[in-house]
Amino acid sequence: MAPRETTTASGSNETQEGPTTISAHKMLAKIIRLRERVQQIEEERQEQATTTATIKKDLGEILRPRAPGPYNRSPGALQGFLTQLRAYHQQFPNKIEKSSVKVLHAGGYMTGVALTWFKPIMRDYLNKEKDNREKETNTIFKSYDEFKKAIKKAFRTVDKARAAEYYIDGLKQKGSVSDYAARFR
């Protein structure tokens, strides 16, 4: 029911509130309560977002493992480098999940000759669209296993049998048996 206008004895019009009208004071109080509720809902939503972000943290974000060491070109250090990378990547399954991210990450730890080998491949990947890149670049960045094959091909020991023979010839026991057992494991 709408407010009714009545004329007073002095001739002025006055509005009387009907049962459905709200006074300005009541309306202001209701607006304040609604604003407080909106603020409460926003705070709850922010808290849920923070909780969700905390739950989605990678183990590496909590443990903060040491990053892999640099790799130059040594064939003897290659397997250790790849193992360090794999262990590091496993600590960050959400942040470092795509093969291309893993390959870029690995490239960041290359130095010297290894970097000289990888720099043109990385530059090709970063500067060109997929259709305009070298086939080797797309292959390496498409699959982390392909990257491992490529780096092993580039820096592997050429003659493994000769290298093993040379290594064995140079062996002399200088430490405990457990040290040698660990080295040949």
Pair 25, 11: CB distance under 8 Å = no
Return the pLDDT at 104.
96
Over the range 75-95, which residues count as b (16 or more CB within 10 Å of their CB) and which as e? eebbeebbebbeebbebbeee
The proportion of the chain whose per-residue pLDDT surpasses 70, expressed as a percent, equals 83
Q: In whole angstroms, give the CA distance from residue 50 to residue 44.
A: 10
Closest CA to 86 of 23, 7, 144: 144
pLDDT tier at 151 (50, 70, 90 boundaries)? Answer: very high
Q: In whole angstroms, give the CA distance from residue 148 to residue 50.
A: 37
Backbone angles phi, psi at 45, to 5 degrees: -65, -40
Angle subtended at Cα 96 by Cα 71 and Cα 127, rounded to the nearest 5 degrees:
70
DSSP 71: B
Task: Provide mean pLDDT across the span 105-128.
Answer: 96
Helix axes 112-127, 135-142, angle to 10 degrees: 100
pLDDT tier at 134 (50, 70, 90 boundaries)? Answer: very high
